[in-house]
A and B are shown apart, each in its own frame.
Chain A
């Protein structure tokens, strides 16, 4: 009789033990499957967060110092050339008057002030890297972002577009806000057309608008435009040619883990007085968002370790106790010339057969349970989050092929270990000792 048949006979004739082991292994497998899939989901979300918002720093003018450092194309190029930077976004701010379109009404509309036509233009080299969009406060719904190389392009809010019946491809006309200009400067100011290339919607408003809010501070009136346009109009208004980014620049590192070293290296440059700049590692949002996920990933790692250790001990103990009950059987096998390795192989096959069945059931259970677990964890995040963006990292708890393979490997190791430990007795005992124990 072969070892497979002996193993199968043992399992089918000892239903109680089989069911106990099956239940234990199903429980352990389900727990581990869930833990590993939650852990992997956390790590995937952390990675996603890193890619979306993690690891960038900003260089801004430090207005608290007597001398203000310039953030110009030279500095930007030098930072880009230093290595480890994958992208940057230079930002500016200017105020323009809307000539052929209306703004969402605010305080100045009510007061009949001509500043009711004045709104904020946010210059960007790449608006997709602007925090409003990166953090998904604003979401592009139509068209495209302002991209490097653009000139005379604009992105407007869906509210503004709807109010003025504007869509992607239309143009809007604006004019420099000349109120503070000298008379001779005012003469050089002309109207400019901007092509609408994108329309965004405000998902998470950053301010609460009221009737007292100036039109230029109402978020729906914000217009994102390109750096070239801002610089062109600035020059036209008498400011001369400029390569300065008035709101500074944000630099995105290729590997967020290298953020500190890249910044540290930059701060050693002698040709820049960094006291004139405000340099900030801008990963607080990432850290805030990633913190609960990192805690969860750590917790899961700990849980898997504990489950693995407890399971190995528990299984070894159970199998060891059952092995003592099988001394008679082992003795018979030895007396008929079955090798010790053959006996252990039988025990291993028994446990593996149960483990495979338990694993399949655990897989089905965990598919159902992972959905519920994901919902529970996400709702827990919502309750505990200080800012809404913290929940923007969706926790997709799924059990994939990789997780299954991992758990199968873990299970096989656990079975091998516990069967091995419980079989020590068989290896140690001499056939005659076993037979004397039998009688």
Chain B
């Protein structure tokens, strides 16, 4: 049984425009998943459902076998999953340390240092950091929360190629080293190449593919 399960999930804005069409899938701890697909295919919608930001029109999403809606979506967001976004989504008036402390269940600085930020950088305003560093702060926030699932929406979309590789590698290490279930939504094949499992979202369906 996966840590996160999707059972016959459908999502639509109107019945004639299905975004997700009866998807069923299971996501396990210690693995990095990448969901590929063109813009508007429903990748982010699926991520929102997995993250408890929205609820499916049909079907169920289970965390450790229990339906999200029954457990409570806020509870799910607080204790089970961590988001990493393309635009980092850090609190701009806080330092990296403080951003990590928002969710941290452990010391923030060691996590930041492990992800390559110096002590000095950890205490600057986040907006003074590079894009790659900001994304590391976002990942550090996810790691320090101790939540078992990390959902990343185009996490390398704003980064150059080298930095994108480094961040993807960090996600991979996170999955392996910390036993997290990392689900990345991307349209980058380079990111997909480093994943344990790759899905392609097409016409509202999720199909496992080889890259």
Assess whether B85 is in contact with A432, with CB atoms less than 8 Å apart: no
Contact of B83 among A1, A329, A335, A339 (CB under 8 A): A335
In the complex, the answer to whether A331 meets B89 with C-beta atoms within 8 Å is yes
Q: How large is the interface on A (under 10, 10 to 19, 20 to 34, 35 or more residues)?
A: 20 to 34
Known: A10-B93, A430-B54. A336 touches B82 (CB 8 A): yes
> Contact between B90 and A332 (Cβ–Cβ < 8 Å)?
yes
Could you tell me if B54 and A432 are in contact, using CB atoms closer than 8 angstroms?
yes
Complex Cα distance A14/B91, Å?
12
Is there contact, CB below 8 Å, between B89 and A335?
yes
Selected contact of B91 from candidates A329, A432, A435, CB within 8 Å: A329
Report the Cα distance A339→B78, complex, angstroms. Answer: 9
A338 contact set on B, CB distance < 8 A: 78
Contacts of A331-368 to chain B: CB distance below 8 A: 331-339
Q: Which residues between 74 and 111 of chain B lie within 8 Å of chain A, taking CB atoms?
A: 74-79, 82-83, 85-87, 89-94, 98, 101-104
Check B77 against A335 for contact (C-beta < 8 Å): yes
* Contact among B54, B78, B104 with A337 in the assembled complex (CB-CB below 8 Å): B78
Closest Cβ–Cβ distance, residue A431 to chain B (whole Å): 4
Asked whether B53 lies within 8 Å of A335 as measured between CB atoms, the reply is yes
- What's the least CB distance linking A337 to chain B, in Å? 3
Chain A 1-27 per-residue mask, 1 if CB under 8 angstroms from chain B, else 0: 100001001100110000000000000
A328 contacts chain B at the CB level, 8 A cutoff: yes
The residue in chain A whose Cβ has the minimal distance to the Cβ of B94 is A9
Count residues of chain B with CB under 8 A from any CB of chain A: 30
A435 to B101, CA, bound (A): 21
Which residues from chain B contact A332 at a C-beta distance below 8 Å? 89-91
Report whether A1 and B87 are in contact in the complex, using a CB–CB cutoff of 8 Å: no
Q: Which residues of A contact B85 (CB under 8 A)?
A: 335, 435, 438-439
Q: Select B98's contact among A1, A335, A431, beta carbons within 8 Å.
A: A1
Q: Nearest Cβ in chain B — how far from A9, in angstroms?
A: 6
Judge whether A337 and B75 touch: CB under 8 Å.
Answer: yes
A residues in contact with B188, CB < 8 Å: none
Known interface pairs A9-B94, A329-B91. Does A337 touch B77 (Cβ–Cβ under 8 Å)? yes
**Which single residue of chain A is at the shortest CB-CB distance from B100?**
A1
Interchain CA distance A335-B51 in the complex, whole Å? 8
* Bound-state Cα–Cα, A291 to B208, Å: 88
Determine the chain A residues whose CB is within 8 A of the CB of B83 once the complex forms.
335-336
Expressed in whole angstroms, the Cα–Cα distance for A338 and B78 within the complex equals: 7
Q: Report the separation of the CA atoms of residues A334 and B89 in the bound assembly, to the nearest whole angstrom.
A: 11
B90: chain A residues within 8 A (beta carbon):
332
A402-439, CB < 8 A from B = 430-432, 435, 438-439
Q: Is there an interface contact between A431 and B53, defined as CB atoms closer than 8 Å?
A: yes
* Cβ contact of A439, chosen from B54, B77, B86, B103, cutoff 8 A: B86
A1 to B102, CA, bound (A): 5
- Residues from chain A with Cβ under 8 Å of B53 in the complex: 334-335, 430-432, 435
Would A432 and B103 count as touching, CB distance under 8 A? Answer: no
The interface residues of chain A lying within 8 Å CB-to-CB of B94 are 9, 13
- Whether A336 pairs with B93 at a CB distance below 8 angstroms is no
Q: Mark A71-100, 1 if CB is under 8 A from B, else 0.
A: 000000000000000000000000000000
Residues in B neighbouring A10, C-beta threshold 8 A = 93
Most buried by A among B51, B53, B54, B73: B53
Q: A9-B93, A13-B94, A328-B89 are in contact. Are A336 and B48 (CB under 8 A)?
A: no
Q: Is the CB of B75 within 8 A of A14?
A: no
Beta-carbon contact of B79 and A337 below 8 Å = yes
Q: Apart from A1-B102, A1-B104, what are 15 other A-B pairs with CB-CB below 8 Å?
A: A10-B93, A328-B89, A329-B92, A332-B90, A333-B102, A335-B53, A335-B77, A335-B83, A336-B82, A336-B83, A336-B103, A336-B145, A337-B74, A337-B76, A431-B54
* Contacts from B to A (Cβ < 8 Å): 48, 51, 53-54, 73-79, 82-83, 85-87, 89-94, 98, 101-104, 125, 141, 145
